[in-house]
Amino acid sequence: MKFSITSLSVAALIAGTLVLGACNQRSPTTSPSTGSAQPSATDRIANKASDATNKVADKAGEVTNKVAAAADDMATTTKVKTALLAEPGLKSLEISVDTKDGTVTLSGKVDSADQRDRAKQIAQSTGGVKGVVDNLTVKS
């Protein structure tokens, strides 16, 4: 919902900028003291609106990047969990998988060091995984 509000804000600012720009059909005023052209009030408002639009667009881009990163991490977690479930003899239901920026964290309990190593190997070989943090413990 927040992204929709941001999109609407960007669209409103762009429309406002275009309207204000279209209203100013006069030539710029000349300063009596310097003889140089001074921007009109409409130009100043249009410039401020344009700056605000750029800032909102930048924020919207940041939000989009964060959402994309979260979706990538969620997909990676799903791939690792699916691969662990497909492994015979591995009690993968006792293994938790979490992904942050492509780094997978495995936690939980396994029956042996071999199962621990196999779970880690499966996670490392899964597409999209940049690294694996092994927080698995072997039951004693």
Asked if 7 and 1 touch (Cβ cutoff 8 Å), the reply is: no
Positive or negative, the CA dihedral 103, 84, 120, 110 is positive
Residue type at position 15: A
Task: Provide the token pair at 22.
Answer: 């279209």
Q: What is the CATH number of the domain that holds 124?
A: 3.30.1340
Asked if 6 and 63 touch (Cβ cutoff 8 Å), the reply is: yes
Grouping H, G, I as helix, E, B as strand and the rest as coil, residue 2 is: helix
Q: In degrees, to the nearest 5, what angle opens at C-alpha 103 toward C-alphas 129 and 134?
A: 100
In this prediction, residue 10 has a pLDDT band, given cuts at 50, 70 and 90, of low
Q: Are 105 and 61 in a shared domain?
A: no
% of the chain residues with pLDDT over 70? 74
For residue range 18-70, what is the model confidence (pLDDT) as tens digits?
555 555 545 555 455 555 667 788 888 878 878 878 888 778 778 787 888 88
Residue that finishes a domain, picked among 68, 83, 118:
68
Q: Are 14 and 53 in a shared domain?
A: yes
Positive or negative, the CA dihedral 72, 78, 79, 81 is positive
Q: Are 61 and 117 in a shared domain?
A: no
Residue that finishes a domain, picked among 26, 46, 68:
68
pLDDT value for 23:
53
pLDDT value for 2:
47
Q: Are 24 and 80 in a shared domain?
A: no
Beta bridge partners of 108: 95, 136
In this prediction, residue 5 has a pLDDT band, given cuts at 50, 70 and 90, of low
pLDDT value for 33:
53
Domain coverage including residue 114: 72-138
pLDDT exceeds 90 at position 100: yes
Q: Are 80 and 123 in a shared domain?
A: yes
Q: Are 103 and 133 in a shared domain?
A: yes
Q: Are 19 and 34 in a shared domain?
A: yes
Place of tokens 């479930």: 85
Domains in the chain, number: 2
